[in-house]
Chains A and B, each alone.
Chain A
Amino acid sequence: MAPALCAICKDARALIIRPKNHQKLCKACFIAIFEAEIHHTITTTSLFSPGDRIAIGASGGKDSTVLASVLKTLNERYNYGLDLVLLSIDEGIKGYRDDSLETVKRNAVQYDMPLKIVGYDELYGWTMDQVVEAIGKKSNCTYCGVFRRQALDRGAKMLGIKHVVTGHNADDVAETILMNLLRGDLPRLARSTSIVTGDESSEVRRSKPLKYAYEKEIVLYAHHKKLDYFTTECLYSPEAFRGSARSLIKNLERVRPSAILDVVRSGEDMAKLVPEEVTGISQCKSQKVSLSSADGEDEAAGGCGSTSGRNSGGEMADMEKRLKEDEEASAREIDVSAVAATAPNGQPHDRIAKVEPKKPAKQEAGRKLTRQTLGTCKKCGYMSSQDVCKACVLLEGLNKGRPKMEIEVSAEDEESSTLRREMEGLALAAG
């Protein structure tokens, strides 16, 4: 069969079929269009400003390696004026992270970027190996995820950096949208679609410049550019629900490659239906980030000041009352309420008797929309949507020698409802 020619240059042999539109491209045109699209994402969302210092959350894996490579290329090509730094988290998993960190160290040399490594050990006094020894393999992903998110913030703060970019790709975003959809968690769904999280009240913003990039294209980009990345599965068991969502996405992609971006777009459209008061993010952000507010002076004010940023956690009941009265919100809420009404016993709350009712409004009948507001943790002072962040709650449990069960479902992390169920089991076994 005669080799297909590139649809753009009509000259070189096509090597790639783009999942989103079946376009057949040669290597050079593929690399060019992949970079141009990331540039488009960055410019249309006003993701960066000249002079910004950006920490790239670098694991040594394909996504963050491609992110670092592309950002370096674009920064030089289009004069973004960014100061790029690699920020790596050492979870303390022997035989896994120590190898991938070697990759990051090589990347730092290859891309001529400074590298900062922060360890769970120094931040929390626990390595993941020790955590798993204490709690077993069942819910360790939750600990690791909660710790990592905060570790990125803390690493960025150590560097005096206010913006962390991560390598989350379109497949990851689609997977998270599906998980939140399947859990009926619209507030979190809305947040997960946003290219930037964190607003004027947060000290460290996070963004996902690769959110429209297919995992397949990321891997092909890394392959064709011969990037040095690390691939080994984490030694500890992955979360089953996420794994199922992942398989579903990959199966859909095989039948209909555009499905991944379609899910991302559907998620963005659904996010618009979720009232702003519930998500804690302004509506415009899911499409277009208003940097005037996100880059505002509030950010420089430091941790404590930001708790007064929007609404404090204690106003939950008021908030929900107001929501009902708010005509505009209730109009938007129609679909949301319908979902809520048909979700029988969806709340893991129902099943746990020992949960301390820190926020009584949430424990009342039925499923209510819970508002997500970024504030700071009373204990450690880092970003949190609750009074005490989940990292501190988990840590307290670890330090007491026994996991606690007070994790709020409304928090940002993806796994907390699963955690609750698993914690329940653990507590029973331990008791």
Chain B
Amino acid sequence: MTSEDKISILVEFTGGLEMLFSDERKHKLSVPAKDDKGKAVTVGWLVDYLCEEVMKDTRKEMFVLDGHVRPGILVLINDADWELEGEASHALQPNDNILFVSTLHGG
């Protein structure tokens, strides 16, 4: 795969989610531009990718429940609520900043 087939994005975890991702808040990722069916990768694809490739923690259910981002976790795409950006169907663009914030921790 050549570098043209990759896009680089910045994924951030806050609100306690970072503990699922090696206690690292920021993850600079280089991800394939197309999925294995040749379609442009989306945030939904990214969520699966994060679970399978990035998360070392075994508690996947703290991030994804029933195939969706766990209720109570906010997703911001370039600082905008992902509901404004097509949610999981948003196609990743180069240099996108995807932020996952848990509202579930600490009070």
A residues with CB within 8 A of B: 1, 3-4, 13-17, 24, 27, 59-64, 100, 167, 171-172, 215-216, 218-220, 223-224, 230-234, 246-247, 250-251, 253-254
Contact = CB atoms under 8 A, between A and B. Distances in A.
A232 B16 contact: yes
Interface in B5-55: 14-16, 19
A233 to B, nearest CB: 5
Contacts of B104: 246, 250
B19 A63 contact: no
Nearest to A223: B101
25 contacts: A14-B80, A14-B84, A15-B79, A15-B84, A16-B80, A16-B81, A17-B81, A61-B106, A171-B103, A172-B107, A216-B74, A220-B81, A223-B76, A223-B99, A231-B14, A231-B15, A231-B105, A232-B16, A232-B19, A233-B19, A234-B106, A247-B71, A250-B72, A253-B72, A254-B71
Contact of A219 (B71, B74, B85): B74
Contacts, number: 77
A215 B101 CA distance: 12
Given A1-B85, A1-B86, A63 B107 contact: yes
A216 B16 CA distance: 15
Contacts of A172: 107
Contacts of A224: 79
A-B residue pairs, 8 tightest by C-beta = A250-B71, A61-B106, A250-B72, A231-B16, A15-B80, A254-B71, A219-B103, A231-B106
A219 B83 CA distance: 16
B103 A4 contact: no
A56 B101 CA distance: 25
A60 B106 CA distance: 9
B97 interface: no
A13 B15 contact: no
B103 A215 contact: yes
Given A15-B79, A15-B84, A231-B16, A167 B74 contact: no
A338 to B, nearest CB: 33
A178 B70 CA distance: 21
Nearest to A13: B80
A17 B83 contact: yes
Contacts of B15: 62, 219, 231
Interface string B80-97: 110111100000000000
Contacts of B83: 17
Contacts of A233: 16, 19, 105-106
A171 B86 CA distance: 25
Nearest to A61: B106
A215 B16 CA distance: 15
Contacts of A167: 107
Contact of B81 (A15, A60, A215, A253): A15
A143 B19 CA distance: 26
A59 B83 CA distance: 31
A232 B79 contact: no
Contact of A24 (B16, B84, B101): B84
Given A218-B103, A233-B19, A250-B104, 11 more contacts: A1-B85, A3-B80, A4-B84, A16-B81, A62-B106, A100-B106, A219-B15, A219-B101, A223-B101, A232-B106, A246-B72
Most buried by A among B16, B80, B85: B80
B105 to A, nearest CB: 5
A247 B62 CA distance: 12
Nearest to B16: A231
A1 B89 CA distance: 12
Nearest to A167: B107
Contacts of A4: 84
Contacts of B102: 231
B107 A61 contact: yes
A59 B71 CA distance: 24
